[in-house]
Amino acid sequence: MPIQAVWNTDTYATAVHTGVITFQEMMDFHLQLPSDPRWEILQHALSDWRRVERIIATEDELKLLAVHLSVYDLTLNKLRLALVPGQYENAIEYGNLFVAEMAKYETEVKMLPTIDEAEHWLFNED
């Protein structure tokens, strides 16, 4: 599975992305998340893209994904989302696009270069 949810605690989950990821795989993954009973109390999410080789998605599809995820943010208790990009082509560009789109919906999201920095930001009010 190219995307897997790892529940670190009941309120903290990591989405681990691996290999080649398509837009449809991203949407399918996010559609199944609310079926987990821990979803309603999720407060911190880390999106780990370090093992990704390539993303097969357009900018418009990434914007659509941001709209979809912004709806989730409205149903959760002030979710904080940290994104750690990988080294694949367009990683920083796509990460910045996604963060900018999520910001339109007042979602608290930030792209950071390392897991340690992402976790520090997630759990501190910096």
Written as one string, the DSSP assignment of 8-51 is EETTEEEEEEEEEEEHHHHHHHHHHGGGSGGGGG--EEEEEEEE
Q: Which residues contact 48 (CB under 8 A, 6 or more apart)?
A: 14, 15, 16, 17, 84, 115
> According to the model, what pLDDT value does residue 78 have?
72
- Look at residue 91 and give its three-state secondary structure: helix
Does domain 13-33+41-112 sit in CATH 3.40.50? Answer: no
User: Domain ranges in the chain?
Assistant: 13-33+41-112
pLDDT digits (tens, 9 = 90+) for 27-70: 999 889 888 899 888 889 999 999 999 999 999 999 999 888 87
pLDDT digits (tens, 9 = 90+) for 2-33: 999 999 999 999 999 999 999 999 999 988 98
> According to the model, what pLDDT value does residue 74 have?
63
Give 121 or 73, the one with higher predicted confidence. Answer: 121
> According to the model, what pLDDT value does residue 110 have?
95
Mean pLDDT of the chain: 90
Confidence band for 76, pLDDT divided at 50, 70 and 90 = low
